[in-house]
Chain A
Amino acid sequence: MSDAVLSIVDLRLSRGSQAVLRDVDLEVRRGERIALMGLSGGGKTTVLRAVCALDPFQSGTIIVDGFGLKAGPVPRESQLRELRRRVGMVFQFHHLFAHLSVIENVSLAQVHVHRIARREADAKSKSWLESLGVGARSGARPSELSGGEAQRVAIARALATDPPLLLMDEPTASLDPARRGELAATLVSLTSAGRTLLVATHDVAFALSLATRVVVLADGCVVEDGPSGDVLARPSHPATRALLQGERSAGL
């Protein structure tokens, strides 16, 4: 329990009368790279959104590196400062700030949340962008970036404040297969510094090349949980089989 970065216990979340997460239990240890898998509508994104306090949940608890989130309405941002330091999030559609340049996107939280001097923040942003291969795009506007570039900028933005836990939602959605392997390699190198990754994806090949552990969600419950090789080689749940089936029929 002591090295758990994220601990989710009995998480139940509904939207209206629709139960999205029925009973999710998940413990993530420091340095793990977890692929959160499942078919569309299985609740992957919802788990990530609950962890970064974007959606309220009805019961259960979420503890991020010692910071606890309780059931009920989402607390005000002023009460979530400790959570925000601990969790970074990369959205499926990146959601870069359209009116700011790439480097301004990455420096924003450093300057306005962590009160780092602008010049220092920009230097740090620049090195993040360079390590992610988009250093040359610092001055560009988000609308001028390709999907892959936007993805990398979004990662840099989430990592710029150095959160121990990074959440990513469908990071391969805007990438062609060649780029997916490249991204997986980048993400593996990022975790060598003791960072923990929780990535929602339904891309089996990407999960295999990235994750140390695979968790499969179906109908709002965790149905499989284990080392990625085991789960994906010997699927025990129909949802996992359907996932692999879908991948094969898609030509992989």
Chain B
Amino acid sequence: MTRHRGGSPLLSARLLVLLLSADVFALCASASPVPGGANGQPAGSPPAAARPVLRWGGDSEGGAPFVEADPANPAVLRGFDVEVAALIAEGLGRTPQFVQVAWASIDASVRRGDFDIGMSGVEDTPARRTQLVVTIPYFQFGEVLTVRRADRGKYRSLADLGGRRVGTLGGTQAYELLLDAARSHAVVAVSYDDDVHPYTDLANGRLDAVLLDNIIAARAERRTAGLFTEPSAVAAGRYVVVLAPGQEALRDLIDAILLAAMRDGRLERIYRTWEIWDDSQAAFLRAAGTRAPSTGGGETAEPTGPLAATLRYLPAVLRAAVISIVLSCLSMALAVFVGVLVASGRLYGNRWLRLLLTAYVEVTRGTPVLLQLFVIYYGMSSVIRLPAFVAAWIGLGLNYAAYESEIYRSALLAVPVGQLEAARTLGLTESQILRLIRGPQAFRLALAPMTNDFVALLKDSSLVSVITVIELTKQTQIFAANIGSWVVPGALCAALYLAMSLPLSRLARRLEKAWNVPQS
């Protein structure tokens, strides 16, 4: 997905999470003294050059204890997933080689052959089992509720959270649980693109609870003060290794390696190193280790055809499309309004106002809209806690206002000076000239670039998923992640964007004709 402005959203999102979370140093500090880190550096020291490579894909944005860059040496990866990958590679007689991939894209990436195996907190879901080749689970986690310490004991289960806002990472089993709870208990499910901001939003009151993997919850509790995680899990989940369809033979080998590691205590050692070992893990490994490796792979999957899945997701996708178009229209209205004021101020204002407005335009245009959304939603949350949709509206509107103001400024400058002088000799005031002569002609000139920007804005509105607004692109991602295919969701998403942008272009052309704007 390429976007008009702003580059890769995921990459910048990660950067921003680091930039904006003041706790990032605390996070590194708490992670660095973990024992055994120096011992288990699988990716750093290739033992024998002759050995074939096992390419494994994961997301180091997931951070400790999954996969993270070593704070002491960012070129080296560490984490329990790194060590499990090394264990698998060792068992296969291969050298592990890490491939960075966005967490949400692990499935799609392994399917197209970017790497041999995908892992790093990849959950065992029915959809995955129908779409990919999946190993036996190697780790069990609990989906746990984290609340503010003041609410300790108040929300022990999702049923206690009726009408409350509960956040999680989008595209996860936890998000599916929340969607179910939204139907059964009227819980308000809020999806995030990362697993840091749900907890900061919980601390500052935007959320009432966060549902996520116990490992993530424990990390968040260390990082963010004033949080409490309910000890009993809402549900259990398991991490698996995923492979491309047709890789059953390799999968069976890996299953055998994992089973052996469960029996001889090597997995236990890794988990103890990373302090994620507990009684339930012990019970899980004991039970799993005595079971034979799974063979069929799809035995737990519920059969869902693409049509049935599409029908199931259609209402949500259409609702997301409505959010996209409403958000875009409101943002464009704000952008036009502020843009006109900024352009007028830059042409008619005094020196200081001109300087101020020029600075606004340059800063707004010169920094990514993603950063601006983060600042408005998260960065300013200690001062003013805007609802996500309002933050998205203001963020997109003010960002586009900078672009619109430049369009209007150049359009205003393009209106012939002679007409303005003629208007003066007729006795019109400066504001009348702007309103009756300069503005209307500038608006006609600005119409084509404005239409262009509106279409760009419609697509840029997909960026607001980073601040928990679920719009069309995000909903499509969720849809695709859950059915394990991009074909139908992608086509549906594209069709909806076109259905929204094409009528707009037509309307603009019709207006241009009606106004006699010279056609090229």
Which residues from chain A sit less than 8 Å from chain B, CB to CB? 52-54, 76-78, 80-81, 84-85, 87-89, 91, 93, 95-99, 108-109, 112-114, 141, 143, 157-158, 161
A84 and B426 within 8 A (CB): yes
Chain B proximity of A245: nearest CB distance (Å): 31
Residue B186 at the chain A interface, CB threshold 8 Å = no
The verdict on A84 contacting B419 (CB below 8 Å), with A97-B437, A112-B432, A143-B516 known, is no
- Interface SS, B side: helix
Mask, B399-431, CB within 8 Å of A = 1, is 000000000000000001011011111111110
Chain B, residue nearest A89 (CB)? B425
Q: Could you tell me the distance between the alpha carbons of A108 and B515 in the complex, rounded to whole angstroms? A: 18
B422 and A77 within 8 A (CB): no
List, sorted by A's number, 30 A–B pairs whose CB atoms are closer than 8 Å. Answer: A54-B421, A54-B424, A54-B425, A77-B424, A77-B427, A77-B428, A77-B429, A81-B427, A84-B425, A85-B427, A88-B425, A91-B421, A95-B421, A95-B422, A97-B422, A97-B437, A97-B441, A99-B440, A99-B441, A99-B444, A99-B515, A99-B516, A108-B426, A108-B428, A108-B436, A112-B428, A112-B432, A112-B436, A113-B427, A113-B432
Chain B proximity of A14: nearest CB distance (Å): 20
Please report the number of residue pairs spanning A and B whose Cβ atoms sit closer than 8 angstroms: 71
Chain A proximity of B435: nearest CB distance (Å): 9
B423 and A97 within 8 A (CB): yes
Chain A, residue nearest B437 (CB)? A97
**Cβ–Cβ < 8 Å partners of A114 in chain B:** 427
**Cβ–Cβ < 8 Å partners of B421 in chain A:** 54, 91, 95
Q: Could you tell me the distance between the alpha carbons of A52 and B426 in the complex, rounded to whole angstroms? A: 10
A113 and B428 within 8 A (CB): yes
Chain B, residue nearest A53 (CB)? B424
Q: Could you tell me the distance between the alpha carbons of A157 and B427 in the complex, rounded to whole angstroms? A: 12
Q: Could you tell me the distance between the alpha carbons of A99 and B83 in the complex, rounded to whole angstroms? A: 72
B426 and A157 within 8 A (CB): yes
A98 and B441 within 8 A (CB): yes
Q: Could you tell me the distance between the alpha carbons of A106 and B515 in the complex, rounded to whole angstroms? A: 19
What 10 A-B pairs are tightest by C-beta distance, nearest first? A84-B427, A95-B418, A109-B426, A95-B422, A113-B427, A89-B425, A95-B419, A99-B441, A52-B425, A77-B429
Chain A, residue nearest B426 (CB)? A109
**Cβ–Cβ < 8 Å partners of B444 in chain A:** 99
**Cβ–Cβ < 8 Å partners of B426 in chain A:** 84, 108-109, 113, 157-158, 161
Please indicate which of the listed interface residues B423, B425, B427 has the most CB atoms of chain A within 10 Å of its own CB: B425
A109 and B440 within 8 A (CB): no
Chain B, residue nearest A48 (CB)? B425
Q: Could you tell me the distance between the alpha carbons of A161 and B419 in the complex, rounded to whole angstroms? A: 18
Which residues of B (410-468) have their CB < 8 Å from a CB of A? 416, 418-419, 421-430, 432, 436-437, 440-441, 444
Mask, B173-204, CB within 8 Å of A = 1, is 00000000000000000000000000000000
Chain A proximity of B335: nearest CB distance (Å): 23
Q: Could you tell me the distance between the alpha carbons of A54 and B422 in the complex, rounded to whole angstroms? A: 10
Chain A proximity of B135: nearest CB distance (Å): 69
Chain A, residue nearest B431 (CB)? A77
**Cβ–Cβ < 8 Å partners of A54 in chain B:** 421, 424-425
A161 and B427 within 8 A (CB): yes
**Cβ–Cβ < 8 Å partners of B424 in chain A:** 53-54, 77, 84
Chain A proximity of B376: nearest CB distance (Å): 38
Chain A proximity of B520: nearest CB distance (Å): 16
**Cβ–Cβ < 8 Å partners of A76 in chain B:** 430
Q: Could you tell me the distance between the alpha carbons of A98 and B423 in the complex, rounded to whole angstroms? A: 12
A95 and B428 within 8 A (CB): no
The verdict on A95 contacting B427 (CB below 8 Å), with A89-B422, A108-B436, A112-B436 known, is no
Which residues of B (293-314) have their CB < 8 Å from a CB of A? none
Please indicate which of the listed interface residues B424, B426, B432, B440 has the most CB atoms of chain A within 10 Å of its own CB: B426
Given contacts A78-B429, A95-B421, A97-B441, 15 further A-B contacts (CB under 8 A): A53-B424, A54-B424, A77-B429, A77-B430, A81-B427, A84-B426, A89-B425, A95-B419, A97-B423, A99-B516, A109-B428, A113-B426, A143-B516, A157-B426, A161-B426
